[in-house]
Amino acid sequence: MDIEKARERVRELTRQINEHNYRYYVLDQPSVSDYAYDNLLAELISLEKAHPVLQSKNSPSQRVGGQVTKKFPVVKHTYPMLSLGNTYSREELLLFDQRVDRALKEPCEYVCELKFDGVAIGLTYLNGELTRAVTRGDGIQGDEVTENVKTIRSIPLSLDRPGLPPEFEVRGEVIMPHSSFLELNRDKEQEGQPIFANPRNAASGSLKLQDSALVAKRGLDCYSYGLLAPGLPFPTHWDSIQALKTWGFKVAGLTTICRNIDEVFEFIGQCDAQRKALPFDIDGVVIKVNSLAQQEKLGFTSKSPRWAISFKFRAERAMTRLLDVTYQVGRTGAITPVAILEKVAVAGSMVKRASLYNAGKMTELGLHRNDLVYVEKGGDIIPKIVGVDISSRKAGASEIQFITSCPECGTRLRRLDGEALHYCPDNDHCPPQIAGKIEHFIGRRAMNIESLGQGRTVLLVEKNKIRNIADLYDLTYKDLIGLEKVITDPLTHKQRRVSFREKTTRNILRAIEASKKTAFERVLYALGIRHLGESMAKKLARHFCSLDALMEASQNVLLEVEEVGEKTANSIIDYFRNVENLRMIERLKAAGLRFQTGTAAGGGEKPFSGQSFVVSGVFEHYSRDGIKQLIEEQGGELKSSISSKTSYLVAGKNMGPEKRKKAEALNIPIIREDELLQLVKQ
């Protein structure tokens, strides 16, 4: 295809894909199948690859991210992003209405909108193209996060609509839906990292990630609620919001015009009743004078507009008694205080435990034993103590002080500069840390040692069969057979019996032996180095190619690796300074684990280097994870969906029919398990 025909086709594909994105992510009304959509995107990517000059910075193909930003520039807002006055009171809202009435001396109507609990963003468009995205900051200037915002699929990258101003700014709120928040926290728990307290914090943290490819995986969304430009042709705020909808922006369905303050209160009541069913957090309702001429007449104070106010909901809270504070020790040694409460109903569920996060939070609350405390759910998800009824405190009640020694091994705790958490430094001998590290090591995304679950790991530690991960490779049938114990779950207090019977024991030993073939990047992640997640382990493995090279790297060398900051670099250096860790690694090397990539070992590329694979179905000789591990060990890259860049579809029984159709349409080779194994042998 010549360049002009390709240009026209790219333009048409971009228009179609943007329209489908709008229908799917904004209207929630998909207009084509995933298969048809993926074909359009694959064709666009193929044309852009053949003609790089045709790829625009706002092409739909750029949604996956990939840009790395080491520093977010601070830029001044074209229009100041002022804050709104807040109220929790019906009386104060009535006073607001009276002030508006006195100032205008004429009837007015209000537009009521959801007050999203997220991160305010300003989106600047020039000739229909997104050119800049800036956070609120201090209202006068904020951080430019354009590359990260481009990964949010509900934000149009380019607009092809009649009547667009040549330059305009859209105000909106970047949020993290509950489903994305829960999935993110599950992943962080599995990696031994602190979880986010609420979706707002998670959204804010995600927008400041340096790698936009990681932002793309966070599942962020954006709702628009304001349009700014000189000489807009709209007489009312409502009209401008409707224009945003027709231009392709996502606007909350719960937005309405109220003719008087009574209708405003009615709308607030409706939103309060419905907010628990919403898939995202709101913390109130924003009330704005609808007429733009009346807004201009009312004007601004130094901090906020006189024509708008937010009514904030009080979070549902309950009062209960604080029975005790216990302390959990994580695999990295982090100490988390947990409040033990009399059972109480909060936001639809029974709560008897609440995280206190750290020592600073406990000091802030000033907790005493048997206090009556107020409990809320952060973002209606995570229980937390938000206050204490000091008036009911009994005379002489003892204040609860944060512990100074580890509750499990007695080692004196440490608190690192710049961190809120306290740590038990005895990570080689503290039982929960040992068990936690082993559980992390054997996890599905690490060494994938099947059948050795949490209860059995704890039992082996208690019986002194294992003291670190290297001990796993010394276990014998005689060490395991017949061991059993009743385990009490610390959260539910339910009991269950764990045991090592004949079949289980042999399965565990086989899985331990098979884990010796695990790829270096997963072994590196499995070591459990603090601040080193799965994605970072892959990047370090590919950068250094061997553990020995990584161990010799200085801080400056580590900082050259994409995404590595000082905290991660220092953590890696500290890990390899530990004599116990070095001894353990030598034992793991002797056991036969892989601590280098194929390139480092043999000086040449692996068989599947530069090739990408999609795996689907059930296999005869390998589990699906086993097939994936085999591909990664041979240098292949795994993908979840088929595109024109896919090298092979590895097909097992009961594979997805849509994947087969798409592979056939794109002429992607479809191979069976035995054919994959033959490729490895060749």
Active centre residues (catalytic):
115
Cβ neighbours around 246 below 10 Å, total? 10
Is-contact 611 636, C-beta < 8 A? yes
HEC profile for 27-39? CCCCCCCHHHHHH
Half-sphere exposure of 153 (CA within 13 A, CB side): 20
Distance, CA of 225 to CA of 216 (rounded, Å): 23
| Residue with the two structure tokens 């998670």 | 202
| Residue with the two structure tokens 């764990």 | 498
Cα distances from 340 to residues 44, 183, 221, 325, in angstroms, run 56, 26, 35, 6
Smallest CA-to-CA distance from 63 within 213, 223, 205 is with 213
Task: At 172, give phi and psi (nearest 5°).
Answer: -155, -175
Q: What DSSP designation does 399 have? A: B
Is-contact 85 300, C-beta < 8 A? no
Smallest CA-to-CA distance from 333 within 441, 418, 405 is with 405
User: Residues 373, 376, 381, 383: what is their CA dihedral angle, to the nearest 10 degrees?
Assistant: -10
Handedness of CA 577, 559, 333, 449 (dihedral sign): negative
DSSP string, 317-374: EEEEEEEEEEEEE-TT-EEEEEEEEEEEEETTEEEEEEE--SHHHHHHHT-BTT-EEE
Please tell me the total number of residues recorded for the chain in this structure. Answer: 682
Question: What are the residues whose beta carbons fall under 8 Å from the beta carbon of 154, sequence distance 6 or more?
Answer: 25, 26, 221, 222, 223, 250
Cβ neighbours around 383 below 10 Å, total? 20
User: Residues 8, 14, 20, 21: what is their CA dihedral angle, to the nearest 10 degrees?
Assistant: -170
Q: Which residues pair with 638 in a beta bridge?
A: 613
Distance, CA of 435 to CA of 430 (rounded, Å): 9
Distance, CA of 549 to CA of 570 (rounded, Å): 16
Cα distances from 38 to residues 60, 100, 457, in angstroms, run 12, 52, 44
Distance, CA of 181 to CA of 203 (rounded, Å): 9
